[in-house]
Structure 1
Amino acid sequence: MFDNRLSLAVAFSLIIFILFAIIGVFSLAQNEEMAETLIQTLQNEMFAFVADDNPLVLAGKLFFNNLEASVLLFIGGATLGLLTIFILMTNGVIIGFVLSYASEKTGYLPILASIIPHGILEIPAFLIAAGLGFLLSESLWTEFKGQGDAAIDAKTLGRKFIVIVIPLLAFAAFIEAFITPQIIDLVLQGV
């Protein structure tokens, strides 16, 4: 299910993501005012997203939000990978920016507690979806050159998406809604 080509595509996705996360970290240092504006916007959107929901409803919202992003990463391959790259770049910058900002305000422990429990599944799911998108792009290019069959490859890649990415996202959403808040509370209480 996870072959060498997919491993390389996921590694390529990870490199793009990390590179732009680093850019996000350094962009914070360049413009503190922009940082405050971006953080306030993200907080407002996140608060509206999670407000007044029980954990089961929140898990559903998180799952479908992350599924949408993952589908875009995957089908972004149909744009010769340009959409996939753009999404990885944008999310990398935002993640780097937010992590840097938040760690300055609260320290690393609360940030790690809020990301690691579900992030160990969610981030790989995004990177695998992006890797599948790059393989879709490669397949379309190969067919354009008169070799291969992109439709057959897309079907195989779609199966991998369903078997690998969707379960990772479902478990991550459950953890993020039910377990991560408990861990954050423990960390903030100093337990």
Structure 2
Amino acid sequence: MLWNSLTIFRIYQICTVIFFITALLACVYTDPVSTKQLNENINASFSYIFLNNLKVACLLIFLGPVTFGLGTFTVLIINALVLGGVFGSIKADLSLMRLLIPHGIIEIPILLFAASIGVKLALNLLKLQINIRLLLKHLVIVIIGLLVAAGIETLITPMFLKGV
């Protein structure tokens, strides 16, 4: 069967394709908005950003086995729609990309990895082969990646906000 041979890397590739196609479609169909009223006093704390991203990662991971992957793909697609909508709304002023790229280059791959873990857990549940030790290693990778991304978003992104 096909699902017997799917590695975490192959699942990651599938999640990546789904995510970026969805984000691209959302970007194309979103009208740009004026960014002149951008609030420079955005102050999101490290813990708020980290916990919000951790919540999304946990949904991506643990909805997998509960919903046989459907919940994971739903959360993945919703996040792609949000990101694509943000890109679409700022496509008139691409300088705002400086606010998203520093932490996004870490956060997005980590969330895609979390989605891959969720799908793999669902497939492993069907085979009755859950490897708790491997799951814990993957969770540590996700948590470390989200800590780094939240650190960049709270420490480095505000420096770019002043230049926008």
Letter in 2 for 1:142: K
Q: 2:143 matched to 1:157?
A: no
Q: Is the 8 A contact 1:129 1:165 kept in 2?
A: yes
Considering fraction of residues, name the structure with more helix: 1
Corresponding residue of 1:115: 100
Map 1:3-152 to 2 at 5 A: 5-28=7-30, 51=43, 58-78=45-65, 79-104=67-92, 107-111=93-97, 113-143=98-128, 149-150=129-130
Q: Is the 8 A contact 1:125 1:165 kept in 2?
A: yes
CA distance in 2, matches of 1:183, 1:25: 22
1:154 shift after superposition: 4.1
The TM-score normalised by the length of structure 2 is: 0.84
Structure having the higher Rg = 1
CA distance in 2, matches of 1:171, 1:8: 25
CA distance in 1, matches of 2:7, 2:162: 41
Q: Give unmatched runs, 5+ long, in structure 1.
A: 37-42, 144-148
CA distance in 1, matches of 2:80, 2:28: 12
* Matched pairs, number: 155
Q: Is the 8 A contact 1:136 1:154 kept in 2?
A: no
The CA deviation string for residues 97-130 of structure 1, in whole angstroms up to 9 with x for no partner, is 11111122xx11222x111111111111101100
Q: Give unmatched runs, 5+ long, in structure 2.
A: 1-5
Q: Is the 8 A contact 2:107 2:146 kept in 1?
A: yes
1:26 shift after superposition: 3.1
Superposed CA RMSD in Å reads 2.5
4+ residue runs over 6 A deviation: none
User: CA 1:154–1:135 in structure 2 vs 1: closer, same or farther (change >3 Å)?
Assistant: farther
Q: Is the 8 A contact 2:29 2:88 kept in 1?
A: no
The TM-score normalised by the length of structure 1 is: 0.73
Corresponding residue of 1:146: none
CA distance in 2, matches of 1:132, 1:84: 9
Identical residues among aligned pairs (%): 29
Corresponding residue of 1:176: 153
Corresponding residue of 2:3: none
CA distance in 1, matches of 2:28, 2:101: 22
